[in-house]
Amino acid sequence: MELVHKISEMQALASAWRAAGLSVGLVPTMGSLHEGHMSLVRKSAEENDRTVVSVFVNPIQFGANEDFDRYPRDLSRDLSLCGRAGADAVFNPSAAEMYPEGFCSRVEMSVLTENLCGKTRPAHFRGVCTVVLKLFLAALPDRAYFGQKDAQQLAVVRRMARDFNMRIEVVGAPIVREADGLAMSSRNAYLTAAERAAAPCLFRALSGGAELCRRGVVEARGIERRVREILSETPLARVDYVEVVDAETMRPLETVAGPALCAAAVYIGETRLIDNIALEARAGH
Ligand code: AMP
Q: What is the mean pLDDT of the chain?
A: 97
Share of the chain above pLDDT 90, in %: 98
Coil, strand or helix at 93:
coil
- Ligand 1 contacts CB of residue 183 (under 6 A): yes
Mutational pocket test of ligand 1: of 27, 32, 39, 40, the residue with most ligand atoms within 8 Å of the beta carbon: 40
pLDDT digits (tens, 9 = 90+) for 178-222: 999 999 999 999 999 999 999 999 999 999 999 999 999 999 999
| Ligand 1 center–CA 146 separation, angstroms | 7
CB atoms within 10 A of CB 102: 5
Strand ranges inside the chain, DSSP E: 2-4, 24-29, 50-55, 89-91, 143-147, 169-173, 237-246, 260-268, 271-279
Mutational pocket test of ligand 1: of 26, 27, 29, 121, the residue with most ligand atoms within 8 Å of the beta carbon: 29
- Ligand 1 contacts CB of residue 127 (under 6 A): no
CATH topology of domain 2-173: Rossmann fold (3.40.50)
pLDDT score for 283: 67
List, in sequence order, the alpha helices (H) in 164-276: 193-198, 201-214, 220-231
Averaged pLDDT, 134-161: 98
pLDDT at 254 over 80: yes
| Ligand 1 center–CA 82 separation, angstroms | 14
Q: Which of 225, 206, 219 is closest to 257 using CA atoms?
A: 219
Q: Is 26 left (phi over 0), alpha (psi -120 to 50) or beta?
A: beta
Residue owning the nearest CA to atom 18 of ligand 1: 36
- Ligand 1 contacts CB of residue 185 (under 6 A): yes
pLDDT digits (tens, 9 = 90+) for 10-62: 999 999 999 999 999 999 999 999 999 999 999 999 999 999 999 999 999 99
- Ligand 1 contacts CB of residue 125 (under 6 A): no
In a 13 Å sphere around the CA of 19, the CA atoms on its Cβ side amount to 6
- Ligand 1 contacts CB of residue 150 (under 6 A): yes
Averaged pLDDT, 243-255: 96
Alpha-carbon separation of residue 74 from 56, 186, 281 (angstroms)? 11, 11, 42
pLDDT score for 284: 57
| Ligand 1 center–CA 285 separation, angstroms | 33
Task: Look up residue 130 and give its DSSP letter.
Answer: H
Share of the chain above pLDDT 70, in %: 99
Active site residue 34: no
- Ligand 1 contacts CB of residue 51 (under 6 A): no
Q: In the chain, where are the structural domains located?
A: 2-173, 186-277
Residue owning the nearest CA to atom 14 of ligand 1: 147
Q: What is the pTM of this model?
A: 0.97
Residue owning the nearest CA to atom 10 of ligand 1: 146
Averaged pLDDT, 244-264: 96
Ligand 1 atom closest to the CA of 185, numbered from 1: 16
CATH topology of domain 186-277: Pantoate--beta-alanine Ligase; Chain: A,domain 2 (3.30.1300)
Radius of gyration of the chain (CA): 19
- Ligand 1 contacts CB of residue 152 (under 6 A): no
- Ligand 1 contacts CB of residue 186 (under 6 A): yes
Calculate the CA 277 to chain-centre distance. Answer: 14
